[in-house]
Amino acid sequence: MKTEAEALDMIGDHFRRARLAAGLTQEQVADLAGISRPRYRDIETGAAAARATTLINVARALGLEMMLVPQAMVPAIEALLSPQGEDDRPAFSPQAEGDDE
């Protein structure tokens, strides 16, 4: 496989930290996102790749927003996020580019 599993892990970790920072339980987030608790758990542990709609709903339930930005702008955005919000780690650092394996 590839970076996919790592990406899911990063997403799940991101969600988990945001959830704990918000003081919510898995069930609460799952309910807010409109999914079941076992499924939210799979997402948080990186065991499942949620759908785009589920991803958006979970993110919003946690006070986050999913954005698609040009890769060239990622560093600038990370710099914008790093100093202030210490709870969130930016999403991903595109190691290389473009396609997958």
H or E segment at 41? helix 37-44
Cα torsion 59, 64, 68, 72 to 10°: value is: -140
Asked if residue 39 binds DNA (CB under 7 A), the reply is yes
Per-residue binding string, a second copy, 75-94, x by CB under 8 A, is: -xx--xx---xxxx-xxx-x
- The DSSP letter of residue 35 is S
Alpha-carbon distance 44 to 11, whole Å? 7
Per-residue binding string, a second copy, 38-77, x by CB under 8 A, is: -----------xxxxxxxxx-xxx-xxxxxxxxxxxx-xx
Q: Which of 20/69 has CB closer to a second copy? A: 69
In the complex, the smallest distance separating the C-beta of residue 1 from a second copy, rounded to whole angstroms, is 9
